[in-house]
A and B are shown apart, each in its own frame.
Chain A
C-alpha cells in the first residue's frame, strides 16, 4: 500500500533521514520506534507532502506521490495526526471535526456518519462538542486530533506519538482505540517512543536511529531483540 524506497530528507546540509526503506501493507498496523530526533516525524512530514525529499521515492498504491500537494495527498487517503496535535484551538470540538471532513465536505450524509463513528470511539468528544478545542485536557485534545483525522475516512492513518505527555491510564485507552481503528479496516503507521505499548498492538515494526533504520521485523521479533529491549523497553 505504502512504500518508501531509499528515501532521504535534508534540512540544508543536515541529513535528517538517509536511505529509508519502509513498506506498509493494506490492513497492517506498523510501528516506527525511535528516540526524539531519530527521524520519525520527518518521515511523516515527507509522506504528508509537508517536507520535500531529496532522494528516493514514496509510492502509494503503486504510484509516486512526489508531485502531490498536501491537500491532494489527504484526498488520496493518507491522513496524518501530527505530534503537536495541530488543532484549531479557537474552534469548538464539533467545528474541528467537521473541518477534518474537509475533503468530503459536499457529501453531507457521509460527514454525519463519520461524526457518529468518531463519537462512538470517543464519547467524551460528543459530551464536549461545544467546548473550544484549546480548553480541552491533553488526553481529550489527542482524542480530538485522532477523531479529526478519521473524519476524512483515511485509507492510511499516520499517527505521530499519540501517547506523548499523557497519563498511563489514558495511554492504555488510546492504544485500545488505535487497535480498534485498525481492526475496522484502516491501515495504521504509528510512530512511538513507548515501545512496550506500541509493539503489543502492532504487526510489524522498524527501529530508527539517527535517521536510518537499524532493525526491522515482526512485533515478536522486536520484542525479543536484545538491543531493542535495552534501548526502548528497559528490561
Chain B
C-alpha cells in the first residue's frame, strides 16, 4: 500500500511536467498547425537559463524561473518571426523540416555554451516532508502545486479575457479571425510566447529532480507528442488529461512491470488508445 501511494504521487509529479510541456505543444499545433519539434529544445533551454541565472548571478530560484519564462518565451516569439511566419504560405512539410532544424541548432548551441556535461540544479526546497506516511520532497510537492496553478491561470486567460478568446477564435477558424479583424500575426506571436513560457516553467520545476543536459528535451518532447496525439491534436483538456494518464501509467508500470520498460509504456498506451479512439480522447472541438 505504501509503495502504491508513493508511486501514485510520483505519477502525479511526472504527469504535471508532461502536461505543461504538452500544453505548449498543443497550443501551437491547434492554432498554427505547426508540429513544433523544437519545443523540446525550448524546454532544455528553460532549464539552462534558470540554472545559469542561479549560478552566475546568484538569483534566487523564483527570480531565475521568472527570467527563464521571459527569455524562452521571447525565443519562441523569435522563432515564429524568423522561421515559421515566413513559411506560412509554404507546404506544411516545410514547417516540420524547419522545426527539426531549429531543434538541432539550439541543441548544438547549448552544447557550445554550456558543454555536454550533466549538471544538477540545487533547490531551496530540498527538505523531506511526511504526508499520511508517505515521504515526499518539497520540490515534488511544488511541481504539482505549481503545475495546477499554471493550468488554472491559463484556463482563465483563454476563457475569460478578450486576448485569450482571440487565441481560441483563431484555433476554431483562422479565416473567421481574419474577417473580424483579429491581427493573426499578433496571435501567433502570443501563442509562441505562452508556449515557450510553459516549457520554461516545466523545465525549471522539474530540473532539480532530474539532470540538466543538452539532450534532456528528447524524451520529453517525444512523450509530449504522444500525449497530444492521444489527447486529441490541438485540444487543451486533452493535453492535461493525457499528461496525467501518461505520468500515472509510467510510474505504476515502472513499479509493477519493469523499470526498463518505463519509456516504452507511453507508446504502447498510444497504440491502445488510438485503436479505440482514432482521433484521440478529445476531438479539437473540445478546445
Contact = CB atoms under 8 A, between A and B. Distances in A.
Contact of A50 (B165, B178, B182, B285): B178
Contacts of A75: 181
A73 B182 CA distance: 11
Given A71-B183, A99-B165, A87 B176 contact: yes
Given A99-B165, A102-B166, A88 B181 contact: no
Interface stretch (B12-20, B41-49, B138-146, B167-175): B167-175
Contact of A89 (B165, B172, B178): B172
Nearest to B284: A90
A99 B287 contact: no
B82 interface: no
Given A50-B175, A82-B175, A86-B176, A91 B168 contact: yes
A26 B168 CA distance: 35
A79 B181 CA distance: 8
Given A99-B165, A105-B162, A90 B179 contact: no
A1 interface: no
A149 B166 CA distance: 16
B180 interface: yes
Most chain A C-beta atoms within 10 Å of own C-beta, residue among B169, B180, B184, B287? B180
A67 B172 CA distance: 27
Interface string A63-89: 000000111011100011110101111
Interface in A126-156: 134, 148-149, 151-152
Contacts of A84: 175
B182 A87 contact: no
A50 B175 CA distance: 9
A100 interface: yes
A48 interface: yes
A95 interface: yes
B181 A70 contact: yes
Contact of A152 (B168, B176, B181): B181
Contacts of A48: 178-179
A126 B175 CA distance: 25
Contacts, number: 71
A86 B169 CA distance: 11
Contacts of B175: 50, 82, 84, 86
A91 B180 contact: no
Contacts of B178: 48, 50, 70-71
Nearest to B183: A71
Contacts of B162: 105
Interface of B: 162, 165-166, 168-169, 172-173, 175-176, 178-185, 285, 287
Given A48-B179, A90-B285, A91-B168, 14 more contacts: A69-B185, A70-B179, A71-B181, A71-B184, A73-B181, A74-B181, A75-B181, A86-B173, A87-B176, A102-B166, A103-B181, A105-B162, A148-B180, A152-B181
Interface of A: 48, 50, 69-71, 73-75, 79-82, 84, 86-91, 95, 99-100, 102-103, 105, 134, 148-149, 151-152
The 6 closest A-B pairs by CB, nearest first: A74-B181, A86-B176, A103-B181, A71-B183, A88-B172, A70-B178
25 contacts: A48-B179, A50-B175, A50-B178, A70-B179, A71-B178, A71-B181, A71-B182, A71-B183, A74-B179, A74-B181, A79-B180, A79-B181, A87-B173, A88-B168, A89-B173, A90-B285, A90-B287, A99-B165, A99-B169, A102-B180, A103-B181, A105-B162, A148-B180, A152-B180, A152-B181
